[in-house]
A = this chain, B = another copy of it.
Amino acid sequence: MDSLKVLPCDDGCPVRLTAELVGHKWTTLIVRELISGKKRYSELQRGIPGISPRILAERLKQLEQHQLLKKTIFPTIPPTTEYELTSLGQEMKQLIYAMAAFGQSVQAAGIEVAA
């Protein structure tokens, strides 16, 4: 499929949609953490240095609402939660790989990005 008809973008545009889903600052990093398997809140926090608890919780909530990840709460004391990608969330892997590939091309080209 090489047609540009893949991109009927304007509103309801799948590209826009994707940008809205994963365009927030830490979202891709969270997804990346989960690609290797389910993780707990604190594991994610440790795995993503610099993220604040508020943002982490916010992104996780959004991803859950969009059914890109599944949250499991174990009513233990202290509480335990687990996050894992849904099958739809797994499809983001391809997207993240594409982003990684393009980013590497840019790096290889030696482009300065620091605004």
Contacts and interface: CB of A to CB of B under 8 A. Distances in A.
A107 interface: yes
Contacts of A88: 105-106, 109, 111
Contact of A66 (B15, B18, B99, B111): B111
A96 B7 contact: yes
Interface string A56-100: 000000000011000000000000000000001001101111111
A95 B102 contact: yes
Contacts of A32: 7, 9, 15
Contacts of A98: 94-95, 97-99
Contacts of A23: 19, 23
A100 B20 contact: no
Contacts of A94: 98, 101-102
Nearest to A29: B9
11 contacts: A7-B32, A7-B96, A9-B29, A14-B101, A15-B29, A15-B100, A16-B103, A18-B100, A18-B106, A23-B23, A91-B102
